[in-house]
Amino acid sequence: MTYAVLWRRDRGPVHAGRLSLLDHTLLLEGTSAGVAGRCELGYDEIENVDIGRTAAQRLGGRPVTVIRSPRGETVEVAMLGGGGLLPELVEQLDAARVKPAA
Amino acid sequence: MTVPSKEFRLRALVDAGIAVSSELSLDGALQRIVEAAASLTGSRYAALGVLDVSGRGLARFFTTGIDPEQRAAIGHLPEGRGILGVLIDDAVPLRLRDLGEDPRSVGFPANHPPMRSFLGVPILLRGVAYGNLYLTEKGGGAGFDEEDEELVTLLASQAAVAIENARLYESATRWSHQLESLNEVGNALVTETELEPLLRLVCERLRSLLEARIVAVALPFGDGRLRFAAVAGEGAADFEQETASLRGSKNGRVLERMRSERIDSLIDDPEVDQDIARRLGLRAGLFVPLVAHDRAIGVIAVHDKVAGDGRFSDDDLRLAETFAARAAVAVDLSQRVARDALRRVVTAQELERRRLARELHDETGQALTSMLLGLKAVEDAGSTEEMRAASADLRELVVQTLQDVRRLAVELRPRALDDFGLVPALERLTSSLAEHTGIAVDFESALGDERLPSELETALYRIVQESLTNIVKHARATRVSVLVARREGEVVVVIEDDGAGFDPERPADGIGLLGMRERAELVEGTLTIESREGGGTTIIAEVPVL
């Protein structure tokens, strides 16, 4: 499953690109000002998934899914594809997170 | 005519054998046999009758001793009654001293020369009768003897071999043509994506093989009617205009019964729509249902064999059934493709509704709950400062919720598309993409203020929207251009990026090209994709504007 997204890691530069839900990991790819970026998180590395709606959290004016790892890293993802995708992603990440890694 | 010597007979028999085996055409060989028979037996007249396929009548008749003027004066050829009929019914040699004295004789037609002595020998091969050799008026006034019978029997067996060879050759040629046509239709089933050209090919090939006047494929449509989806042959244009009722036509009844029928006389069949049959001058027919998964989905109708009285044989019916099986595969496949497309549309609609419901419930609902709590905080504020702070929080929440609801509405269907048209809607879409993703987007339109039909504007907007989403997801592009051009009778939209590109033969999953192509096809348009890995992508949507 892939989504068109805006994303950033640890409040870094905002990338436009793709989120892929792979078998065991969440993969984010994209470019920011022409520079390619990539971020891969195992589902077992996700401690918490939340929705950020404050003005400071939003990306491109859109609410974000906030993904936190046990090491304190934060990844924020805004969905570009259409309405209703944000709750869908949160639900999928929640389901993947509690699933034991194969 | 004198009776030839034994030496002459032997020589003539050998010559006849050589001549028959070296003759290329069946007609030529049979004529040589008739002439040899007359010569060997010293007969004034000789004839060879070839039985028709039913074995009950004469299909061909070769003669010697009667000149063209006499033949013209006699009129029609023998039909196999009288003494000739005796030989057809009972395939054994028959010798008569005087034809006229035999009680089974029916006499001769006017202008027929008198004939007395008679020898008839069946043309047999492995017990199968192919025809008869007839000799009359043996020279010298004598009757035919046993030796004549043996000689003519030998010639008759040569004739049988020649006839069977010719029929085998004809049958092999016919099978070869049938196989070629079936192969052609089979290949078209794999390569042809449009149903009607494929059905037209089935009609054309079947018509050619059956030597029919017209072949049509009727498919059910609407409420209880049949339309002719493909027609080949004489009067095809008139046929294509016709529709037939399922209950009140032969095609409809055959479809209902799922059983083939051969009708020798349409006028005598109460199920045939006589009005149509009369108008199109139809006499005989084959009606074969197209059956797929035990369901009749159409009918092949074949009318009027060009040669003879227009009737078809059982072999013709079997051949039509073979073609009907191919046509049924094509119609079934086409219907399944259409159903799959509809299923995809319905599934996509349901997915969008589910997402919308979730957004309204989880996001908007939660925001409204937060607002209620914010109002409570304002009410419970102990001081003016606390109240101001709570009000400010509440205001931000309302602003964000309003923004989200507007965004949701735009994503579902931008109001600009309905209120102002395609160009303003695309301007907003492209500028929004540039603003949020940092990709440089050029938008150019030659449409001006022209409004297109609503379904065209929607289709083109969604194609551009899907293309831009794909660019963000897959292309890693830095520049995108969207161009709307107007040509004579059509609008062309070109979306081009300088990104990673892909092999159009193997597009990535989730790229939605099928959906984009279907959107274009729904408005009678086309979608062209030009791309190569590392070389960017160009998508061209061309839709006709009437």
pLDDT (average), residues B135-159:
88
pLDDT (average), residues B466-476:
92
Helix, strand counts (H, E) of chain A: 1, 7
- At residue B3 the predicted structure's pLDDT band, cuts being 50, 70 and 90, is low
- At residue B392 the predicted structure's pLDDT band, cuts being 50, 70 and 90, is very high
Residue boundaries of the structural domains of chain A: 2-97
- Rounded CA separation B254/B290 (Å): 10
Three-state DSSP class for residue B100: helix
- Rounded CA separation B310/B283 (Å): 7
**Which residues of chain A from 57 to 96 reach within 8 Å of chain B, CB to CB?**
58-63, 80-88
- Residue A56, chain B, CB below 8 Å: the answer is no
Helix axes B195-210, B314-358, angle to 10 degrees: 170
Pick from B44-58, B254-268, B281-295, B415-429: least confident: B44-58
- At residue B449 the predicted structure's pLDDT band, cuts being 50, 70 and 90, is confident
Pick from B136-145, B254-263, B509-518: least confident: B509-518
A9, A39 in Cβ contact below 8 A?
A: yes
Other Cβ atoms closer than 10 A to B468: 26
- The answer to whether residue B131 scores a pLDDT higher than 90 is no
List CB contacts of B284: < 8 A, sequence separation 6 or more: B263, B264, B265, B266, B303, B304, B305, B309, B310, B311, B312
Q: Are strands B212-221 and B225-233 parallel, antiparallel or unpaired?
A: antiparallel
Q: Please choose, from the candidates B472, B483, B487, the residue with its C-alpha nearest in 3D space to the C-alpha of residue B443.
A: B483
**Which residues of chain B from 381 to 420 reach within 8 Å of chain A, CB to CB?**
396, 400, 403-404, 407-408, 411-412
Instruction: Name the minimum distance, in Å, from the CA of B400 to any CA of chain A.
Output: 8
Residue in chain B lying closest to A63 (CA): B404
Do A88 and B358 make contact, defined as CB atoms within 8 angstroms? yes
- The answer to whether residue B223 scores a pLDDT higher than 80 is no
For A63, phi then psi, to 5°, come to -65, 160
- Rounded CA separation B500/B480 (Å): 12
B426, B443 in Cβ contact below 8 A?
A: yes
Pick from A37-51, A70-84, B80-94: least confident: B80-94
Three-state DSSP class for residue B172: helix
B43, B137 in Cβ contact below 8 A?
A: yes
- Residue B322, chain A, CB below 8 Å: the answer is no
Distances (CA, A) of B401 to A55, A62, A63, B369: 11, 10, 10, 11
Q: Please choose, from the candidates B276, B278, B319, B314, the residue with its C-alpha nearest in 3D space to the C-alpha of residue B300.
A: B319
Q: Please choose, from the candidates A51, A65, A100, the residue with its C-alpha nearest in 3D space to the C-alpha of residue B370.
A: A51
- Residue B356, chain A, CB below 8 Å: the answer is yes
- At residue B11 the predicted structure's pLDDT band, cuts being 50, 70 and 90, is confident
The pLDDT score that the predictor gives to residue A82 is 76
Pick from B71-75, B332-336, B462-466, B495-499: least confident: B71-75
CATH number of the structural domain A2-97:
2.30.29.30
Instruction: Name the minimum distance, in Å, from the CA of A43 to any CA of chain B.
Output: 21
- Residue B532, chain A, CB below 8 Å: the answer is no
- The answer to whether residue B348 scores a pLDDT higher than 70 is yes
Instruction: Name the minimum distance, in Å, from the CA of B272 to any CA of chain A.
Output: 57
- Rounded CA separation B26/B273 (Å): 43
For residue A81, the chain B residues in CB contact (below 8 A) are 469
Other Cβ atoms closer than 10 A to B346: 10
**Which residues of chain A from 18 to 37 reach within 8 Å of chain B, CB to CB?**
18, 29-34, 36
Q: What average pLDDT is seen over chain B?
A: 87
B321, B210 in Cβ contact below 8 A?
A: no
The pLDDT score that the predictor gives to residue A101 is 46
- At residue B509 the predicted structure's pLDDT band, cuts being 50, 70 and 90, is low
B275, B245 in Cβ contact below 8 A?
A: no
Do A36 and B476 make contact, defined as CB atoms within 8 angstroms? yes
Q: Which two tokens stand for residue B240?
A: 């294509």
pLDDT (average), residues B376-403:
92
Highest mean pLDDT (candidates A21-35, B21-35, B237-251): A21-35
Q: Is the confidence metric ipTM above 0.95 for this complex?
A: no
Span between the terminal Cα atoms of chain B, in Å: 86
Can you say whether the dihedral through the CA atoms of B63, B66, B71, B77 is positive or negative? negative
- Rounded CA separation A21/A43 (Å): 10
Residues A84-99: pLDDT tens digits?
A: 888 889 888 988 876 5
- The answer to whether residue B511 scores a pLDDT higher than 70 is no
Do B436 and A61 make contact, defined as CB atoms within 8 angstroms? yes
The count of residues in chain B is 546
- Residue A13, chain B, CB below 8 Å: the answer is no
- At residue B120 the predicted structure's pLDDT band, cuts being 50, 70 and 90, is very high
